[in-house]
Structure 1
Amino acid sequence: MLDQYTYIFAIGTFFALLDAFNNGANDVANAWATSVSSRSISYRQAMILGTIFEMVGAITVGARTAETIKNGIIPLDAFKGNAGVQMLAFTCALAGASTWVMWCTRHSAHVSSTYSLISAVAGVGVATAGARNVQWGWNDGKGLGAIFAGLGMAPAIAAGFGATIFMLIKLVVHLRKNPVPWAVFTSPFFFLIAGTVCTLSVVYKGSPKLGLNKKPPGYVAGVTMGTGAGVCALACLFFVPYVYAKVIKRDQSVRWFHVFKGPMLFFRQFQEGEVASVPNYAVVQEENLDEENKYHSGESAKSIDDNEVKQATVHEKSLAVAEGQQLTYKEQVAAGQAKLNARLLKKRGPMGWAMRTLRDNPMGAGEIYEFKNMKIMAKRLPAYIVCGALYGLHYDIHAAQTGIAGTPEGARMERVYSHAKKYPNEVEHTYSFVQILTACTASFAHGANDIGNSVGPWAVIYGAWKSGAAVKKNAEVDVWQLAVLSATISLGLITYGYNIMKVMGNKITYHSPSRGCSMEMGAAITVLVFSQFKLPVSTSMCITGATVGVGLCNGTYKAVNWQRVGLLVFSWIMTIPVAGTIAGVLMGIVLNAPHFT
């Protein structure tokens, strides 16, 4: 027969996994929104690279930040050696934090999973040991005072780092009369920065098991700068010749595998004629506007048929009136959703099958327990699962970010974009490669820092269940725990991350690859600085601060959507009392409920 400890461990494990899932769907999606918004990388490519670097960062350097949440807020003597109370406290903390973040993610409200968990831990601390025993002060950098200081410091510091990097790019490249050669030949320097920061996070902050953080400063500096210089050298030998051939010489015959030819590409002969093209990095793709005007929005959203959908663009961003009566906002959103669904119905593979199954098997009249409805539900359930897993990979992120034309949101985003200068696609194309590296660095930093949100409480629950006694201060976090939760974070990013990504990125300011890599590097540096001092910090707050900082580099405050920034700040502030109250009330009810001994 299972004892009460096993029951609590099972429930705690469930909420730890749910918290990690929400972390991926909320915080990680926000971190990758910059890359997707800049069109440097597709959503699917972001999912693959995000999964790899989140797991590597979490497993190799994620153990240290777990100690702050685990031991720095509630003193271990508050549990008086009672393993059951300790397990219950952190289970309720995970339940409160994950419930709040899940609700916010469902409604596309971006909040910090880091501060949700910290607030929840403080709430159960009050319910368990009283307000006096919660570490409200600095507590050698581990108390709530030190942690919540990051609420104001982290975005500001990230804004400074992001703005500094972008202004460097702007002065060195964008303001030149002929910026393309400058962009190509200075790109190794930015690979140097990205490689150095990523190496620094592994060596200097390193995993305790590796012991790299105990090496002499000279060793740390040598390895860090040596690796960064190596990345820079590889960029000079292979990346620069490849981009030179494609962007400056406009060699349309060059392919990605030609990068391995290195300097020989400088002397590569190619046939004159059609020149190589680079992607269009504009947020609003002008070539689609004519197609969008084919859609007559004066008709009801429900009247859209397949023939009309074929004539309309795949983007939802503009459903403006051609002539006649204009749709309401809800009708415009419904029309855009109908267009997306109609396109998915025609796809081959699992997603198309699932959408067609749901279309061809509608629920009948009566309650769900009617026998005919039970048979229909048996057919629909597998389709629901497939849609839930794959829908985000087919969602039009860019259309959702730019807003719907004819609505206040669409007009506001048009005004914001008008204050940001658009740089040549050839220049932005160069930085799209740099942004991939910076995005991976940011994802690595997130995995190293935010894995502590879920693994800290879960390590306490697992340790108390395994030993039958309250966990000691220096309890070790197992690598398998980091691996399981980092995989769950990646699952949340892949399946549900689009729900946050569609309201981030270009919703704050205009994005482009050169801007995006500056934002990501500014956020990554800030996260690593805070992690070095064992302070959990919200990656979302850092990338938001860096985004605002880069947006202000356009030369006017009008280039930033302050309404969205205000909503973000409001959601961050509300997270503290709401998550803390949910977890504290839950702990108080369970702890004081009548029970048999």
Structure 2
Amino acid sequence: LKILPYLYFFTFSINIFSIFYDGTEMLYFDKIPLYGICIISIGIALTVALVIRFYVAPKLQKSITNSVHLEDCKICPVAYVLPKENEQPLERETEIADGRVNCITQIKKFFKPETKEESQCIKLFNFLQIFSACFGGFAHGGNDVSNAIAPLISIWMLYHTNSVYSTDEGPTIWLLLYGAAGMVIGLWVLGHRVIYTVGEGLTELNAISGFCVELGSAFTVLFASKLGLPISTTHCKIGSVVFVGLLRWRKKVNFSTFRNIVLSWLITLPATGLFSAALVALLRKGL
């Protein structure tokens, strides 16, 4: 709980700074000087950190304390019905600790290995993971959507202005919205498969490791976007997931799935190039 405000401050400050720095001309973000961007980013992040420190953290601590007491006093929901003449007492494995009765079962130990983080600690990172996922979504829109829609915008500008360089941003905004709509529809129709592969097929993730994965990949994608480098958000997330899994528990990383993903990266580049070249050759012959 003590480090939670600092994590929120760090996450919000970097996210807000990346939005305003060298931002879009439509919202006049490019007119804001660097010191103004720093003041805005630090001010908003500091406000969020103070709210977390003096309002959210005490409520979380109280909630976690109550949940711990409830779990410690919980009795296994198992009942045995014995004949009336059987006077043998019921046996249940219990443990007395700090005046509370703890129910211990082998099933609970089996499904909760010692390598897992405490559930109370994971609860603290639930909202942080949500914010980092929004951060990753912003980075995804700033890089992958631009990569996908850039050829279409170039074709449109070449058709209407006879040049790929144009200062007219009106129609291109609609083309960007078209690309964003395509991303949403694709996520709705086929996104669940990739979500399962990245979220569960490579290694086991929780709120803590998910926060690290989202934040690390978002930083990488945003840095590349600021440099004008087209990279893949999926590649960054795969690398983050695998290395976080290696750091937490090496034996639980599915290297066979990771190998197949890397092979797909190597195959898709020449495959798409050959397919595009063949399509252009057919169009040239037909025209």
TM-score by length of 1: 0.39
* Equivalent residue, structure 2, for 1:207: 24
Q: Identify the match of residue 562 of structure 1 among 255, 261, 279.
A: 255
Change (3 A) 1:454 1:509: same
Q: Identify the match of residue 275 of structure 1 among 63, 70, 86.
A: 70
* Equivalent residue, structure 1, for 2:44: 227
How far does residue 457 in structure 1 lie from its aligned partner after superposition? 1.5
How far does residue 592 in structure 1 lie from its aligned partner after superposition? 2.4
Q: Identify the match of residue 515 of structure 1 among 205, 209, 217.
A: 209
Query: Does structure 1 residue 574 correspond to structure 2 residue 241?
Result: no
Query: Does structure 1 residue 472 correspond to structure 2 residue 267?
Result: no
Change (3 A) 1:524 1:474: same
Query: Does structure 1 residue 447 correspond to structure 2 residue 136?
Result: no
- What is the SS of the residue equivalent to 1:228? helix
State the distance in 2 between where 1:511 and 1:587 align.
43
TM-score by length of 2: 0.78
Aligned pairs (5 A) from 1:165-564: 184-213=1-30, 215-250=32-67, 275=70, 421-465=115-159, 467=160, 469-477=161-169, 478-554=172-248, 557-564=250-257
State the distance in 2 between where 1:493 and 1:518 align.
23
* Equivalent residue, structure 1, for 2:78: none
State the distance in 1 between where 2:188 and 2:197 align.
16
* Equivalent residue, structure 2, for 1:393: none
Report which structure shows greater RCO (CA 8 Å, sep ≥6): 1
- What is the SS of the residue equivalent to 1:185? coil
State the distance in 1 between where 2:41 and 2:15 align.
9
Report if aligned partners of 1:247, 1:276 keep a CA contact under 8 Å in 2: no
Structure 1 letter corresponding to 2:162: A
> Which string of whole-angstrom CA distances, capped at 9 and with x for unpartnered residues, describes residues 148-191 of structure 1?
xxxxxxxxxxxxxxxxxxxxxxxxxxxxxxxxxxxx33222221
Change (3 A) 1:458 1:476: farther
Structure 2 letter corresponding to 1:197: I
Report if aligned partners of 2:126, 2:207 keep a CA contact under 8 Å in 1: yes
How far does residue 580 in structure 1 lie from its aligned partner after superposition? 0.5
Structure 1 letter corresponding to 2:41: T
> Which string of whole-angstrom CA distances, capped at 9 and with x for unpartnered residues, describes residues 404-444 of structure 1?
xxxxxxxxxxxxx9999201111111111211111111111
* Equivalent residue, structure 1, for 2:277: 584
Change (3 A) 1:211 1:194: same
- What is the SS of the residue equivalent to 2:197? coil
State the distance in 2 between where 1:578 and 1:418 align.
44
Percent identity over paired residues: 25
* Equivalent residue, structure 2, for 1:267: none
Report if aligned partners of 2:158, 2:164 keep a CA contact under 8 Å in 1: no
State the distance in 1 between where 2:173 and 2:114 align.
45
Change (3 A) 1:513 1:420: farther
> Which string of whole-angstrom CA distances, capped at 9 and with x for unpartnered residues, describes residues 122-152 of structure 1?
xxxxxxxxxxxxxxxxxxxxxxxxxxxxxxx
Report if aligned partners of 1:420, 1:510 keep a CA contact under 8 Å in 2: no
State the distance in 2 between where 1:464 and 1:501 align.
37
* Equivalent residue, structure 2, for 1:399: none
Aligned pairs (5 A) from 1:155-166: none
Report if aligned partners of 2:157, 2:165 keep a CA contact under 8 Å in 1: no
Structure 2 letter corresponding to 1:216: P
State the distance in 2 between where 1:538 and 1:193 align.
24
Count of paired positions: 248
Report if aligned partners of 2:11, 2:132 keep a CA contact under 8 Å in 1: yes
State the distance in 2 between where 1:250 and 1:418 align.
17
Structure 2 letter corresponding to 1:573: L
* Equivalent residue, structure 1, for 2:75: none
Unpaired runs of 5+ in structure 1? 1-183, 252-273, 278-416
